[in-house]
Amino acid sequence: MGNGVDTDGTTQVAIACQGGGSHTAFTAGVLKRLLQECDSDSDCGPYELVGLSGTSGGAVCATAAWYGLVSSGTDRAVATLEAIWRDFSARSPFDRITNSGLVALAQFAARGGPLPLFSPYELPYTRLGRDQFLDTLEAHVEFERVPELAADASVDLILGAADVTEGEFETFRDEEVTAETVLASAAIPTLFEAVGIDGHWYWDGLFSQNPPIRNFLTVPQRAREKPDEIWIVQINPKRREAVPESMEDITNRRNELAGNLSLFQEVYFIEQVNDLIKQGSLPAQYKPVDVEFIDLGSDLSAPTKLDRDPEFIDRLMQRGQRRAERFLSGRA
């Protein structure tokens, strides 16, 4: 549903980035490779990027890639992705010790171990974590420039969040994106207080659209190309070979299924629109949109979504680049 393939054979592509904590370092690696393929100033491939969307960690990646791309080009986008994930990694001795402890506690809880529960409103360190998150974003993205950049950008940016009190899905688009809206998309309720924006309070977009996809098909305020294809960077595996039986495996699978619920609702919407087009029930200017997946794999557990170990982050980014290369080679 859009403007069709250009006469020169270029395919308009939108990339949607699913959330998943530290696992979305994989997404950063995928984007590094895909952005090079969609670089309008190179002869790498027949693709034009027209949109980026993301939720939670995927929102961080989408925002970093979008900002670097529209402000200075592909090289800046790649550098911004690398720099943000370097700063999110636990590199100081104290941070490494804290990170190891948190991952160990999460693994203990996943096995059914009893842990005391505390609200983020009761713990002072949650506000420190929020401030560090915002400081890291603002160190690499000049959010005050976003409205100006969005006005001239040919690439759409869409972030997903959940309105806590209204129970509604919310998206922040283009000039609406700020450091606070990225935080709102990533505000896991057990780790962060709800994020207040314009009288509304937001939690992690995992409870809404993970990631936003159908929004690529709505008409933005400024005329942009709509995608011929949507490439989804998927963090939570769709399939498992066996029924989980241990407490740890049950917890992991429950986390994966919860993270995929809204994703496949979004994909189902695209499929329904495609069916209506095929049946001739929509006007001739509408076109089907192909959906493709680039998936992380199924070998990681849910507790490692909290793991900020630098070596782990680097391995995920490298895996993302390899998977993106394999994806592009398959298409070629």
- Chunked mean pLDDT (size 10), the chain, 332 residues: 54 94 96 87 72 95 97 95 94 87 81 75 80 94 95 93 90 95 91 90 85 83 74 92 86 85 90 90 83 93 89 96 95 78
Which pLDDT belongs to residue 258? 85
Confidence (pLDDT) at 41: 59
Those residues whose C-beta lies under 8 Å from the C-beta of residue 16, and which sit 6 or more positions away, are 52, 53, 54, 58, 211, 212, 213, 216, 230, 231, 232, 233
Chain centroid to Cα 136, Å, comes to 17
Residue 123, pLDDT score: 77
pLDDT given for residue 7 in this prediction: 45
Per DSSP, which regions of the chain are E strands?
Answer: 11-17, 47-55, 156-163, 168-173, 195-197, 200-203, 229-234, 290-295
- Indicate the pTM of the whole model: 0.91
Four-CA torsion 86, 88, 94, 100, nearest 10 degrees: -100
pLDDT of 45 reads 60
Taking the mean position of all CA atoms in its chain, how far away is CA 324?
15
The CA-to-CA distance between both ends of the chain, in Å, stands at: 24
Tokens 């990694």: give the residue.
89
Nearest alpha-carbon partner for 294 in 111, 28, 87, 85: 28
